[in-house]
Structure 1
Amino acid sequence: MTHAERPFSRLKLHCTLLLAALFLFITMPAAFAHAQDKVIIAYVFPRDRVLSPDEINARKLTRINYAFANIKDGEIVEGFPHDAENLAILNALKRDNPALRILVSVGGWTWSGNFSDAALTRQSRTRFIASAVRFLERYHLDGLDIDWEYPNQIGNGNTFRPEDKHNFTLLLAELRQRFDAEQKRLGRRLYTSIATGASQKFLDNTEMAKVQHYVDTINLMTYDFYVGGPTTGHDAPLFHNPADPKNVSADHSLDLYLQAEVSEKKIVLGLPFYGRSWGEVPNINNGLFQPGKAARGVHFSYPDLPNLLATGFARYWDQTASVPFLYNPSTQVFVTYEDPQSIARKCRYVRERHLAGVMFWEYSNDSTGILLDALHAGLQPPPDSNSGAD
Structure 2
Amino acid sequence: MDGAAPSNISISRSEFNIVCYYTLAISGQPHPALLDPYLCTHIIVGFAQVKNSTISPNYDNETKVYSRVIGLKLLNPSLKVLLSVGGPSDIGGFETVVLSDQSRTKFVNDSLCFIEKYGFDGLDIDWEFPSWPISQPQQRKNFTLLLKEFSDAIKRSNHSILLTVAVAAPEAIILQSYDVAEMAKYVDFVNLMAYDFHMYTDVLPVTGPNSPLFSRPADAGYMKTLNTNWSAYEWISLGMPKEKLVVGVPTFGHSFTLVNEDNNGWNAPAAGYGKIGSQGFVTYSDACLFISRPSTTHVFDDDYKVPYAFSGQEWISYENDESVLMKAYYIKENRFGGVMIFSLNVDDYRGNCNGQQFSLTRKISNILSMS
Q: TM-score range by the shorter chain?
A: 0.7 to 0.9
Give the CA deviation at 1:244.
Answer: 4.2
Q: 2:123 pairs with 144, 154, 176, which one?
A: 144
Is 299-308 or 120-129 further displaced after alignment?
299-308
Write out aligned runs for 1:200-279 (5 A).
200-205=171-176, 206-229=178-201, 230-244=205-219, 246-247=223-224, 248-279=226-257
Q: Deviations along 1:217-236, whole A, 9 cap, x unmatched?
A: 11000000012220100000
Q: Deviations along 1:67-118, whole A, 9 cap, x unmatched?
A: 1111111111112222111001001111221111111111111114221221
Q: Which fold has the larger relative contact order, with Cα–Cα distance below 8 Å and residues 6 or more apart in sequence?
A: 2
Q: TM-score, normalising length from structure 2? A: 0.88
For the 8 Å contact 2:305–2:326, the answer to whether it is kept is yes
Letter aligned with residue 88 of structure 2 = W
Q: TM-score, normalising length from structure 1? A: 0.83
- State the alpha-carbon separation in 1 of the partners of residues 320 and 345 from structure 2: 15
* 2:119 aligned with 1:130: no
Task: Give the SS at the match of 1:60.
Answer: coil
Give the CA deviation at 1:51.
Answer: 5.7
Letter aligned with residue 370 of structure 1 = S
- State the alpha-carbon separation in 2 of the partners of residues 96 and 365 from structure 1: 24
Letter aligned with residue 217 of structure 1 = F
- State the alpha-carbon separation in 1 of the partners of residues 166 and 22 from structure 2: 14
- State the alpha-carbon separation in 2 of the partners of residues 219 and 110 from structure 1: 18
2:290 maps to which residue? 308
Give the CA deviation at 1:204.
Answer: 1.8
2:42 maps to which residue? 63
For the 8 Å contact 2:166–2:191, the answer to whether it is kept is yes
2:363 maps to which residue? 374
1:82 maps to which residue? 61
2:268 maps to which residue? 290
* 2:339 aligned with 1:358: yes
- State the alpha-carbon separation in 2 of the partners of residues 33 and 153 from structure 1: 40
- State the alpha-carbon separation in 2 of the partners of residues 372 and 257 from structure 1: 24
- State the alpha-carbon separation in 2 of the partners of residues 33 and 254 from structure 1: 27
Number of residue equivalences = 346
1:343 maps to which residue? 324
Give the CA deviation at 1:297.
Answer: 2.8
Q: Give % identity.
A: 29
For the 8 Å contact 1:203–1:260, the answer to whether it is kept is no
- State the alpha-carbon separation in 1 of the partners of residues 260 and 14 from structure 2: 45
* 2:307 aligned with 1:324: yes
For the 8 Å contact 2:81–2:120, the answer to whether it is kept is yes
Residues 60 and 194 from structure 1, CA distance in 2 versus in 1: closer, same or farther, beyond 3 angstroms? same
Higher normalized helix content (fraction of residues): 1
Give the CA deviation at 1:280.
Answer: 2.2
Task: Give the SS at the match of 1:268.
Answer: strand
Structure 1 unaligned segments of length 5 or more: list them.
Answer: 1-26, 383-390
Write out aligned runs for 1:35-114 (5 A).
35-47=13-25, 52-114=31-93
Write out aligned runs for 1:155-174 (5 A).
161-174=136-149
Give the CA deviation at 1:271.
Answer: 1.2
Give the CA deviation at 1:339.
Answer: 1.2
Letter aligned with residue 100 of structure 1 = L
- State the alpha-carbon separation in 2 of the partners of residues 277 and 252 from structure 1: 24
- State the alpha-carbon separation in 2 of the partners of residues 189 and 172 from structure 1: 16
Task: Give the SS at the match of 1:278.
Answer: strand
For the 8 Å contact 1:233–1:288, the answer to whether it is kept is yes
1:299 maps to which residue? 281
- State the alpha-carbon separation in 2 of the partners of residues 71 and 293 from structure 1: 36
Task: Give the SS at the match of 2:38.
Answer: helix
**Is the radius of gyration larger for structure 1 or structure 2?**
1
- State the alpha-carbon separation in 2 of the partners of residues 59 and 338 from structure 1: 22
Structure 2 unaligned segments of length 5 or more: list them.
Answer: 352-357
- State the alpha-carbon separation in 2 of the partners of residues 236 and 148 from structure 1: 21
Give the CA deviation at 1:57.
Answer: 1.0
Q: Deviations along 1:172-218, whole A, 9 cap, x unmatched?
A: 01001111122x2xxx4100000000022222222111101111111
Give the CA deviation at 1:264.
Answer: 1.3
For the 8 Å contact 2:19–2:341, the answer to whether it is kept is yes
